[in-house]
Amino acid sequence: MGVKVRPFECWDDFKKYRMEYYRNYLEAKENGSIRWAGSAWAFDPVPAGLGEDVYPLTGEPYGATAAFFRDFSMRALETIERKGAARDLCGYMRNYWGSVAMDKYLLADGAEIEPFPKPDFNFTIHICCTHAKWYHYAAELEGGVPTYAVDISVGPGYLLNDKKIEYVVRQLEDAIQWMEKVTGREYDDELLIRAVENEARSMTLWSKICKLNQNTPAPMEEKSMFSFYVMTLLRRSDEKIVKLYEKLYKEVESRVKRGIGALTQEQFRFVTDNPPPWPFLKVYRYLEENYGAVSVGSIYTFGLGAAWLGMDEKGENWIWEPAPTPEEAGYEIHDRRSALWWTAMFNLKYRASWQHEYSHWIRKQETYQMVKDWKADAIIMHLNRGCELWNMSTLEVRDYLVRNGVSVATYEGNMADPREFDEARTFNVIDSFMQSLGIEKLT
Amino acid sequence: MTTSVDDMPQMKKFREWFENRHEYAKKWKEKTGGRVVGYYCTYVPEEILYAAEILPVRVLGSHEPESITRPYLHDMYCPFCHDTLAQGLQGRYNYLDGVTLAQSCLHMRQSYFSFADRVPNIEWSYYLPFPHGVNNPHAGDFAKHEFEKFKESVEEWTGAKISDSDLDRAIEVYNRSRELLTKVFELRKAENPPITGLHAMLIVVSSQVVDKEEHNEVLESFLEEVAEVEPDREVGTRLMLIGSEDYDIELFELIEYGMSYPATFVFEENCTGSRYFWGAVENGGDRIKALAERYVYRVPCPAKDWARGDFFGRRRFQFIENVIKEWNVDAVIIAQMKFCDPHELDIPSLRDMLDRMGVRHLHLELDLTQPVGQFRTRVEAMIEAMGEEDLFI
């Protein structure tokens, strides 16, 4: 008996937002608006205080989009390599740098626009070796765009204390003064407060949506989730994103109630860990069509932009439960400082992807608990040469999972460099893995 | 009187310490009954360990091919982090009582966690969240807070309080070491430097693996006597080494002793060279604050050196620019550990800066072992190209 499947009703709403997002950034200067560029992890509520006409361009989603359009990506990568960038650097970043160096801007539908729209300023964070330096060099390529990077490397959330939060808050306070200077705009704390609240709501809503995928049949598969999760990385402090997630939550909840699944035949559930090979998303379709195998999520898709409780206070166990919003936590945001304090604390403590940089143990617990909570039969790990941060701990995690009875397959690739992926070999790995587990191909 | 630096007993001692670092640490333990802690990055405030009568030794590799780390570290991580972990997995660091890392690049972090988990006898391990944003004004304050916690952890482990006078003693010993090492590098400004890059590397790296007080004694007498030694080699092209940690004797020997053209390193801008010791601790009462400020405001590792608002530059580049002028550098060898992201992220801009300065440069990618023949050809070609006008005289 097959499972009922339905296209997502809100799919087009998400698609429309993403299309407009890249166009809004492009056209911002026509209306005297502000545009800024930075990591998807940058504190995006902070520039929101400059006005209602502030448009960001976040680098990782842009790099992933570029990678999806392989021809553009190849040209971008080769352009920046000729300028001396090493091939083993972050794949997203090389696509971004290459795009700037070619002076070509990519829209979400693959259309190429010249010239590359220079931001008024770069505003980013720094947690891996790349982020701040990404925008430092981009700024040089752009002829000296003002750049500000916030150091957030204060350690894992369960060890967070006031001193660590204060370190980040002070940098954000400085950043606001700097933004006023760079843009000539007066900062509006009310807009900041609203943006901080929206950020928490967006991130927590996405967590709640992810939780719904613990159901069987899974109402979503990961390839679709890639189009949903990215909103937390484009402009999570935008009220429109909150509305989109509210709509999606209701729809996924209703799919669960009605038994609507992602696949007509769900015979195998697995999770993944890293950014996918964006130019080769057919890996997911191959698994679905040939084996009825659904990816119910990953620490990347769930952890990158969502807010989770994470490690318990003792640092022993990982808890995949949505983090509280300010309202749920009883925290009143009433001025600039309380807003900055909340956004710093919330991100440092609850953003899952800011936790596992600080020990193998955290990532082992995070991954193992995901396998359990989402009732996965296995994990398929992408040994991703395109991101040193997401590749952290992967082999130690693999070792831990195997020792704890979890089936693991690994394939090597690159999230954003189409030259570093062996399609045939990857399908062979998948076939061998499935065979070893006794999973029959669908007839 | 000694006729060559290589024949000086002090230089022989530095080399012996460098080559037999594990034996030294084991003997030190036997002799003192003290603890030995391996540190993974030069941002670790060694003075705090030293004040607790612990011997800090830098965790280094051996430049030998290995495959033992492959189950734990991905191939895209740098050879240095593989090499260091390999030493631990092969039992060469079994004498360590503890291991620590001050937050630096992700690759070392990865190696450190596996090392701490898998090397036997490790009683104490500490991950120190050292700030990355060393160009921002709040970093010193944050580092101070983290250093205090580090100190508390050391005290808890050893069961003994670290007093202000313990810290004063450690700071004094370490500052003396920095002063002496700086003098060694100052010597190399001379038209005919008495020592080579190989000598400098042996001096600096040996200081990272032996008791500083003992090292200072030998270094003091070395400095007293080296002035008397007549340089016995042609200086040739004055080179500056910029890049990742580099303690590979073979590379120095190749470039300074094994080419058709004479060449001498007059400065090393890396963490096995000047970045390790440049800049003293200004001890003015609050010892931990003084330590934090020294480590934050030292010449930064590229992992920590980036634009921040009104400051759109790299402090390391400013330092490099000054060195090139003051040490009269003819050409730069950028020697970057393969896959080292922080350096790779700086290299396009560094090359641009050197081009603007009119300084010739060559980029070599270091691995566990070096392709000597290829490197020789490339470095010789660079030196040949620098003298191309002479061909038409």
Contact B203, B13 (CB under 8 A): no
Residue B391 is classified by DSSP as: G
CA distance B340 to B365: 10
Same domain, A206 and A93: no
List chain B residues with CB under 8 Å of A178: 309-310
Q: Answer yes or no: do A393 and A246 share one domain.
A: yes
Q: Report the distance separating Cα B336 and Cα B319, nearest Å.
A: 18
Q: Which domain holds residue A56?
A: 11-188
CA separation for the pair B388, B50 (Å, rounded): 52
Same domain, A211 and A69: no
- Residue B347: closest CA among chain A residues belongs to which residue? A84
Q: What is the pLDDT of residue A127?
A: 93
Same domain, A174 and A202: no
Q: One-letter amino acid identity for A127?
A: I
Which residue out of B301, B345, B353 would a mutagenesis test of the A interface target, given it has the greatest number of A Cβ atoms within 10 Å?
Answer: B345
Tell me if A88 and B344 make a contact (CB, 8 A cut-off).
yes
Task: Tell me, yes or no, whether A424 and A361 share the same domain.
Answer: yes
Q: How far is B309 from B135, CA to CA, in rounded Å?
A: 10
Q: Is A218 on the interface with B (CB under 8 A)?
A: no
Give B107's contacts in chain A (Cβ within 8 Å): 388
Distance CA B40, CA B84 (A): 9
The answer to whether residue A314 sits within a structural domain is: yes
B111 has a chain A CB within 8 A of its CB: no
Give me the phi and psi of A278, to 5 degrees please. Answer: -55, -35
Residue B389 confidence (pLDDT) = 56
Coil vs helix vs strand at B30: helix
Kindly report the number of other CB atoms within 10 A of residue B67's CB atom: 8
Residues 6+ apart with CB under 8 A from B380: B259, B260, B261
Instruction: Based on the fold, state whether residues A388 and A360 are members of the same structural domain.
Output: yes
Compare all CA atoms of chain A with the CA of B75 and give the residue at the minimum distance. Answer: A385
Reported as a single tens digit per residue, the pLDDT across A135-175 is: 999 999 999 999 999 999 999 999 999 999 999 999 999 99
Query: Which residues in chain B have their CB less than 8 angstroms from residue A167's CB?
Result: 131, 138, 141-142, 145
Optimal mutation site among A147, A388, A417, interface B, most CBs of chain B within 10 A: A388
Residue of A153, A168, A399, A402 for testing the chain B interface, max B β-carbons within 10 Å: A153
Q: What is the residue-wise DSSP string for A227-295?
A: HHHTHHHH-TTSHHHHHHHHHHHHHHHHHHHHTEESSS---EEEEE-S---GGGTHHHHHHHHHH-EEE
Contact between chains at B127 and A396 (C-beta distance less than 8 A):
no
Whether B106 and A86 lie within 8 Å, measured CB to CB: no
Give me the residue from B72, B133, B348 closest to A126, CB to CB.
B133
Q: Does A178 touch chain B (CB under 8 A)?
A: yes
- Last residue of one domain, picked from the residues A188, A210, A232: A188
Q: CB contact, 8 Å: B347 with chain A? A: yes
Domain match, A77 and A168 both: yes
User: Can you list the residues of chain B whose pLDDT is less than 50?
Assistant: 393
B98-102 and B124-128 beta bridge pairing:
parallel
* pTM given for the model: 0.96
- Contact by Cβ (8 Å): B344, A89: yes
CATH 3.20.190.10 fits B21-166, yes or no: no
**If you measure CA to CA, which chain B residue comes closest to A136?**
B307
DSSP-assigned states of every residue in A65-103: HHHHSHHHHHHHHHHHHHTT--TTS-HHHHHHHHHHHHT
Q: Is A382 on the interface with B (CB under 8 A)?
A: no
**In a domain? residue A441:** no
Residue of A nearest to B303 (CA): A129
Cα separation, B97 vs A15, in Å, equals: 56
- Final residue of a structural domain among A154, A173, A188: A188
CB interface of A with B, residues 146-165, below 8 Å: 146-151, 153-155, 163-164
Q: Do B142 and A164 touch (CB under 8 A)?
A: yes
Residues 391-410 of A with CB under 8 A from B: 391-396, 399
pLDDT in tens, A43-87: 999 999 999 999 999 999 999 999 999 999 999 999 999 999 999
290-329 in A: which are within 8 Å (CB) of B? none
**Residue A6 located in a structural domain:** no
Query: What does the domain layout of chain B look like in residue ranges?
Result: 21-166
Percent of chain A at pLDDT > 70 equals 100
On whether any CB of chain A is under 8 Å from the CB of B114, the answer is: yes
Q: State the pairing for strand pair A407-413/B54-58.
A: unpaired
The alpha carbons of chain B give a radius of gyration, in whole angstroms, of: 21
Of B73, B109, B345, the CB nearest to A137: B345
| Interface membership of B142 toward A (CB under 8 Å) | yes
Q: Which H or E run includes A243?
A: helix A239-258
Q: Which of B73, B127, B309 is closest, CB to CB, to A148?
A: B309
Q: Are residues A106 and A53 in the same domain?
A: yes
CB of B42 closer than 8 Å to CB of B275: yes
Inter-chain CB pairs, A–B, below 8 Å: 137
> Is A76 a domain residue?
yes
Q: Does A233 touch chain B (CB under 8 A)?
A: no
Reported as a single tens digit per residue, the pLDDT across B207-252 is 999 999 999 999 999 999 998 898 889 999 999 999 999 999 999 9
Q: How far apart are CA B58 and CA B35, in angstroms?
A: 14
Mutation pick from B138, B316, B337, B354 vs chain A, by most beta carbons of A within 10 Å, is B138
Residue A42 with chain B: CB contacts under 8 Å: none
Same-domain status, A176 and A202: no
Any A CB within 8 A of B351 CB:
yes
Q: Residue B50's pLDDT is what?
A: 98
Whether residues A153 and A235 fall in one domain:
no
User: Touching check for B317 and chain A: CB below 8 Å?
Assistant: no
Question: How far are the Cα atoms of A73, A215, A226, A416, A417 from residue A69, in angstroms, in the given order?
Answer: 6, 34, 16, 10, 11
Q: What whole-number distance in Å separates Cα of residue B321 and Cα of residue B179? A: 22
Residues of chain B neighbouring A155 (CB-CB closer than 8 A): 127, 129
CB contact under 8 A, B307 and A149: yes
Q: How far is B232 from chain A (nearest CA, A)?
A: 39
Give the CA diameter of chain B.
Answer: 73
Position with higher pLDDT, A384 vs B390: A384
Q: Both A60 and A123 in a single domain?
A: yes
Tell me, yes or no, whether A224 and A256 share the same domain: yes
List CB contacts (< 8 A) between A150 and chain B.
133
A146 vs B contacts (CB less than 8 Å)? 309, 312
Determine the distance in angstroms separating the CA of A152 from the nearest CA of chain B, rounded to an integer.
8
Residues of A (55-94) whose Cβ lies below 8 Å from B? 83-86, 88-90
Question: Burial, A281: exposed, middle or buried (Cβ in 10 Å; 0-12, 13-18, 19+)?
Answer: middle
Residue A443 included in any domain: no
Nearest Cα of chain A lies from the Cα of B78 at a distance, in angstroms, of 11
CATH code of A91's domain: 3.40.50.11890
Contact A69, A220 (CB under 8 A): no
Which residues in chain B are contacts of A164 at CB distance < 8 A?
129, 142, 145
Tell me, yes or no, whether A442 lies in a domain.
no
Number of domains in chain A: 2
User: In this structure, what CATH number is given to the domain that contains residue A250?
Assistant: 3.40.50.11900
Q: For A359, which residue in chain B has the nearest alpha carbon? A: B113
pLDDT at residue A333, rounded to an integer: 98
Give the end-to-end CA distance of chain B in Å, rounded to a whole number. Answer: 42
A414 close contact with B: CB closer than 8 A? no
Q: Which two tokens stand for residue A352?
A: 């899952």
